[in-house]
Amino acid sequence: MKYDLIIVGAGPSGAFTALEFIRKNKDKNVLLIEKGSPIEKRRCPKEKTKKCVNCKPYCHITTGFSGAGAFSDGKLSLSPEVGGDLPELIGYDVTQELIDYTDNIYLEFGADSKIEGIEGKEEIKEIRRKAIEAGLKLVDCPIRHLGTEKAQEIYKKIEDYLIENNVEIKFLTQAKDIIVEDGEIKGVIITDSIKHKTEETVYADKVVIAAGRKGADWLENLCVEHNIAHRAGTVDIGVRVEVRNEVMEKVNNVLYESKLIGYPAPFKDKVRTFCQNPGGFVSQENYDNDLAVVNGHSYKDKKSNNTNLAILSSHNFSYPFNEPIKYGIKVSELLNMLGNGSILVQRYGDILDGKRTWQKELSRSNVVPTLPDAVAGDITAAMPYRTMTNILNFIESLNTVVPGFAGTETLLYGPEVKFYSNKVELTTNFETSIKNLYCLGDASGWTRGLMMASLMGVKMGNVLSNK
């Protein structure tokens, strides 16, 4: 069978491509290939086991309909300043228009109408004044918070809509390779994602790859094998920090998420806060290569006593080494090794005292870890000196904006690593150097968040409708 359009990956970027395309092309054949399950069948066993069991063949947190969006915090960042480099490709004004358009789709499917971070202007001014004093930049970013459970409801409605509108979705199916002839895409080789026993070739006029962070390694191999133009970007390495809600109360209430950027001495690398979850929970993601990395999310209604956020340090390489993904993997492996396969957690005060943290010390703290299977240990024994220095100096600056942030009981979990470094060369219509092959979302290296990935899908659906 030949399709008009094949989309690989049913994360926000793939799902929104299908949604926008099918709304304008009801008579076209669209195939959506997804390695994981439908959203209603996605279950993280940790809810029962309380411990990550490293699901095989894939992690339910990141795989299945709506991709990494399903168990995310569901924070839609409504500013072009946040969520990746896409505005550099398509322009800031176009990005803002697409944010507004895509935000309306989320509202149509049931998102909360409240926007965080636009009220309390005087308080925001005060936070900005302190940020300036600390040498940090406060980025303005209104946020629509879906919440994990509501995000799942919204994505379920989108899944149903696609199925009702005749988008064929092959779940538990993995794209293995692509067929390219004379510089033009012809189809995709697919296999079942559990046992990899079957193999089939599906053909299409146009193919969109939207495989997410999880698919970044696979995509990089495709780029090398099929000569798809791409370049190495940056890798962001850091920790997830957790403090009591009382410490973050003001920022949580006024901004919900504080997006702060700094360039701490002595290296002057870019260091930033990312993905703040008031009353949230620290979580674990597992990659196919068995890497355990930390993340965080929060529910709309169920709240913890803690707030977590990531502190990430960007790294660039040039000569003689320029493989950021490999570097990020090595650092994560080392941290996982010290945690015996689990996420490591250490108190800030212990780091300053030059000692590891012990489990019994954690149980005496005001800050009770919301990732109960994280193992107390020594992050500094594995984190590169430059990254660790950047993180510690940034935390000291943040303490000026949020007094108490650099408290002795503040928890640091590691590794938090963002593997979005392989950047595919794209036209403004997201076409790769292979004719009719398009690439989107986090896998493309151009986005890093739900809104940007979703709007890239919306634009893709529009572009393909006009072809």
Binding site for ligand FAD (CB under 6 A): 8-14, 33-36, 61-64, 67-69, 71-75, 77, 83, 174-175, 210-215, 218, 275, 283, 285, 295, 297, 441-443, 448-451, 453
Which C-beta is closer to ligand FAD: that of 68 or that of 367? 68
Q: How far is the CB of 360 from ligand FAD (least distance, A)?
A: 29
H or E stretch at 251 = helix 245-255
Is 274 in contact with 260 (CB distance < 8 Å)? no
Dihedral-angle region of residue 172 (phi above 0 means left; psi in -120 to 50 means alpha; beta otherwise): left
**Which is closer to ligand FAD, CB of 62 or CB of 397?**
62
Angle, alpha carbons 251-257-258 (nearest 5°):
65
Residues 398 and 405: beta-carbon distance below 8 Å: yes
Give residue 236's Cα distance to chain centre: 12
DSSP-derived 3-state class of residue 350: helix
Q: Measure Cα distances from 72 to 62, 158, 241, 296, 305 in Å.
A: 9, 16, 17, 8, 19
Phi, psi (degrees; rounded to nearest 5) at 431: -85, 140
Single out the residue of 115, 83, 125, 78 nearest to residue 401, CA to CA.
Answer: 125
- Name which of 11 and 339 has its Cβ closer to ligand FAD: 11
Q: Which is nearer to ligand FAD, 211 or 388 (CB)?
A: 211
Which CB atom, from 388 or from 440, has the smaller least distance to ligand FAD?
Answer: 440
User: Smallest gap, in angstroms, from Cβ of residue 293 to ligand FAD?
Assistant: 9
Q: Is 192 helix (H, G, I), strand (E, B) or coil?
A: strand
In angstroms, what is the minimal distance from the CB of 446 to ligand FAD?
A: 9
CB of 456 to ligand FAD, least distance (A): 8
* Distance in Å, CB of 239 to ligand FAD, minimum: 15
> Whole-number minimum distance, CB 202 to ligand FAD, in Å?
12
Quick one: 67 or 324, whose CB is closer to ligand FAD? Answer: 67
- Judge contact between 434 and 228, C-beta under 8 A: yes
Smallest distance from the beta carbon of 143 to ligand FAD, in angstroms?
Answer: 9
Integer angstrom CA distances of residue 404 from 201, 243, 409: 57, 9, 10
Please report how close the Cβ of residue 412 comes to ligand FAD at its closest, in angstroms.
18
DSSP string, 387-447: HHHHHHHHHHHHHHHSTTTT-TT-EEEEEEEE---EEEP--TT-B-SSBTEEE-HHHHTSB
Residue 195 CB coordination number (10 Å): 9
Helix 245-255 / helix 121-133 crossing angle, nearest 10 deg: 120
- Nearer Cβ to ligand FAD, position 64 or 377? 64
Closest separation in Å from C-beta 296 to ligand FAD:
7
Smaller CB distance to ligand FAD: residue 335 or 451?
451
60 versus 347: smaller Cβ distance to ligand FAD: 60
Q: Is the peptide bond before 45 cis (omega within 30 degrees of 0)?
A: no
